[in-house]
Amino acid sequence: MDKRWQRVFTLLSEMYPDARCELNYETPFELLIATILSAQCTDQRVNIITPRLFQRFRSPEDYLEVSQDELEDLIRTCGLYRNKARSIIGCCRVLVRDFQGVVPRDLVSLESLPGVGRKTAAVVASNAFGVPALAVDTHVFRVARRIGLARGDTPEKVEAEVCAIYPREQWIELHHILIWHGRRLCHARKPDCEQCPLAADCDQAISGSAREVSV
């Protein structure tokens, strides 16, 4: 691996030694529901909603006993609540029908669930089961492109480029440290390049034109 990319990984690891998923959950199923809820919503807001939700709905079967309207009311504050309620109920229906109500570990099965795209599947597989995967959300997409780890204009292309640079054992940590960096320093609107230890290795800082890059 290029020494520059090694340095980027080491610096980010040192900056964020506690980087981890910031959604609260105790089981793979709870993580799956929380991740569906987190689309275009902050983890903090999801974490406000989920304690009550998880107390009432403990299994996929439980969600099949609630009406779409009632579920919408329970998750309304995290936005896109109609789509999210539909996704959760559809996802639980398939979990019960095809997976004995158990969240599958592999990416292909996870992606077969309604409302579960590549990013959600990767978040669940990597965090809940330790399966090497690089979930590319808006932060990973933006930060990876700014640094120069990737040039692709879709999350899929960025995932392929970054995964080609780093070994599988580093993908999960890389996902977390890139997200933490995007949330704490390399902000979408105004990256704090002057405070950033990565500046000497970052394409955008070197070219002096850190710009807004989002999904």
Q: Which residues are at the interface with ligand SF4 (CB under 6 A)?
A: 143, 146-147, 185-186, 191-193, 196, 198-199, 202, 204-205, 210
Active site residue 192: no
CA atoms within 13 A on the CB side of 166: 25
Q: Which is nearer to ligand SF4, 89 or 162 (CB)?
A: 162
Closest separation in Å from C-beta 147 to ligand SF4: 5
Q: Which is nearer to ligand SF4, 105 or 184 (CB)?
A: 184
**Which of these is catalytic: 2, 98, 106, 119?**
119
Closest separation in Å from C-beta 176 to ligand SF4: 15
Question: What contacts 50, CB < 8 A, 6 or more positions away?
Answer: 23, 24, 25, 30, 33, 34, 37
The contacts found for 69-77 with CB under 8 angstroms, 24 or more apart, are: 74/49, 75/37, 75/49, 77/45, 77/48, 77/49
**Torsion angle of C-alpha atoms 93, 94, 99, 105, degrees rounded to 10:** -120
Scan for tokens 């109500």, then name that residue.
101
Active site residue 62: no
Q: Which is nearer to ligand SF4, 133 or 186 (CB)?
A: 186
Q: Which is nearer to ligand SF4, 37 or 205 (CB)?
A: 205
**Which of these is catalytic: 137, 192, 201, 203?**
137
Closest separation in Å from C-beta 181 to ligand SF4: 6
Closest separation in Å from C-beta 150 to ligand SF4: 13
CA atoms within 13 A on the CB side of 190: 2
Active site residues: 119, 137
